[in-house]
Amino acid sequence: MNGLELRQTDLLAVLKALLADELKSLRRGQDIVPDDWDQHTVVRSAPADFPHLSLQADSLERFALATRVADFFQIRESGLEDYLLRYNTLGEWTELITEARVRGTRNLSFTTSGSTGEPTTCAQDWHDLVSEIEFFRTVFTEHGAVRRIIALSPCHHIYGFLFSALLPSLLDVPVIRGMQAFALVQGRRVEAGDVVIGFPFVWKQVSRSQQPFAPGVIGVTSTGPSDKAVVLALMQQGLSQHIEIYGSSETSGLGFRRHPDEPFELLPRWQRLDERPDTLLDARTQTQYPLSDHIAWQTARMFVPQGRRDHAVQVAGINVFPDSVAEKLRQLPYVQSVAVRLMLPAEGDRLKAFVVPADATIRPDDLRQQLQAWCQRHLSAAECPQAFTFGVELPRNALGKASDWSIINEEHP
C-alpha cells in the first residue's frame, strides 16, 4: 500500500492551499481565498481579457511561491525545480509535482507556524504518513464505510494533509472543501458516512448552533486540546464519534482518543521511553522525539497530556505565547507593565491583557485604541488580545504571586 499516490484533485488542493498560505504571508493583511482556483488558474499577471483566474503574482512573489512548493514536495531531489518558474498554470505545476514524485521524490516537508520564532521545516517520510492513515482507515470504518470527507482544515498542514488529502486518496471518496464544507456542516447537511475534519475552534462554532447531526457522522479534531463541554455538546447533538488526534508537525500523529474522559492511545509506530517519560521512540527508525507537553502515563500505551512545556496556549488552533506578546507590549512607551493570559472559558477563547499605563492621566479608551491599533499592525490575529484591562498594578494574589483577572462585565468599545 505504500505505493499509494495522491489523486490529481487532492494534489491540486494541496498546491492551492500552499500557494494561498504563501500569498497571505507575502500580502500581509490580504484575505486569500483559493476556492475558485483550478488547473487553468495562472500564477503570473494575466491580460484583462484572459478568461481564467490569475494569482497576479509579480516576479518576487513567483519566486517565493516556487520556493514554497519546491520545499514542500522536495522537488529539488528530482532536478525539476527550475520548471516551476517556467510553467504558469496550476495544472502545469501539478503535472510537474507528479513527474517529480514519479522520479522518486515522495517525502514531504511541512512548516511549523513559527509561533516559537522562525518557522521550521519538518521532513516527513512518505512511508510513515501512509502507514498512519492506513491505521486511521480501520478506525473510521469500524461501523461502516466512509462516504465523503468534509474538510474544514487547510490541507497544507500535516493534520489537514493526512485526513483531507491522503485519506480520501486512500479511500477514493470525494472531498468537500472550503466555504462549501462550512456551509454543509453549519447547515447540518452532512450525512451518514461523512467524516468531518475540523479543529477545536471550528468545532466550538459548530456546537453553538445546537442543530442535530444525522446519524453516522464522524468528527475528527486536532491541532490543540478539545474543550470537553464542546465535545459533549456535539455528541448530544448526534455526532456519532468525536475522534481527537494528538500530534505535531514534527512527529505527525502520536495518539488518539474517542472521548474527552479517556486517555490517548499511542499509535502503533510509537513507544514510551521508561527512562524519559516526556520522550517517545519511533519504533521503525529508533529516533527519539521529545514531546511538547508534560505527560502522565496510565499504562505503557495510554497517556494524558498535562500541559505545554513551553507555556504556549492555543487560540483557534494556533500556538501562541502570552509571555512573548506581553514582552512586545512592554516595549511600548505608553505601557509601564503588562500581563497577558488566555481568557477563561466563560470569557472567550482569545488572549486578554492587563495593562499598567506609563501615564496615569491617559484616558483608558484612548490607550485601548492605541494598543489595538498597534496589535493589528504588529501581531498575528491569534496573538492580538481581544480585551484590555487597566489598573495601577498587575493582579497578584494574597501571596504576592501573579494572578488571573476577570473581564466579565467590563465594557469594551
What is residue 115's three-state secondary structure? Answer: coil
Looking from the CA of 162 toward its CB, the CA atoms found within 13 Å total 30
Name the least confident of 44-58, 92-106, 314-328, 388-402: 44-58
What is residue 302's three-state secondary structure? Answer: strand
In the chain, % helix, strand, coil (3-state, to 5) comes to 30, 25, 45
Q: If you average pLDDT over residues 338-364, what whole number do you get?
A: 90
> Please, which pLDDT band fits residue 114 given cuts at 50, 70 and 90?
low
Say if CB 225 and CB 181 are below 8 A apart. no
Nearest to 150 by CA among 225, 69, 213: 213
Residue with cell 470525494: 174
Give the model confidence (pLDDT) of 188-221 as tens digits. 899 999 999 999 888 988 998 888 999 999 999 9
- Ramachandran area for residue 152 (φ above 0: left; ψ -120 to 50: alpha; else beta): alpha
Q: If you average pLDDT over residues 247-257, what whole number do you get?
A: 92
Report d(CA 226, CA 46) in Å as an integer.
44
pLDDT at 264 over 90: yes
Say if CB 126 and CB 109 are below 8 A apart. no
> Please, which pLDDT band fits residue 413 given cuts at 50, 70 and 90?
very low
pLDDT at 8 over 50: yes
Long-range pairs for 250-259: beta carbons < 8 A, 24 or more residues apart: 250/112, 250/122, 250/289, 251/280, 251/289, 252/124, 252/128, 252/129, 252/132, 252/158, 252/162, 253/132, 253/136, 253/162, 253/222, 254/280, 254/291, 255/303, 256/136, 256/139, 259/231
Distances (CA, A) of 238 to 47, 191, 231, 233, 280: 51, 11, 11, 9, 35
DSSP calls for 63-105: HHHHHHHHHHTTGGGGT-TTHHHH--BHHHHHHHHHHHHHTT-
For residue 42, list its beta bridge partners.
Answer: 54, 89
Mean residue pLDDT across the chain: 90
Q: If you average pLDDT over residues 69-97, what whole number do you get?
A: 94
Q: If you average pLDDT over residues 339-367, what whole number do you get?
A: 90
pLDDT at 119 over 80: no
Length of the chain: 413
pLDDT at 398 over 70: no
Give the helix ranges, DSSP H, for 257-396: 322-330, 364-378
Helix and strand tally (H, E) in the chain?
A: 12, 21
pLDDT at 1 over 90: no
Give the model confidence (pLDDT) of 148-177 as tens digits. 999 999 999 999 999 999 999 999 999 999
Give the model confidence (pLDDT) of 277-323 as tens digits. 889 999 999 999 988 888 999 999 999 998 877 777 878 767 788 98
What is residue 318's three-state secondary structure? Answer: strand
Using alpha carbons only, what angle is made at residue 311 by residues 260 and 412, rounded to the nearest 5 degrees? Answer: 85
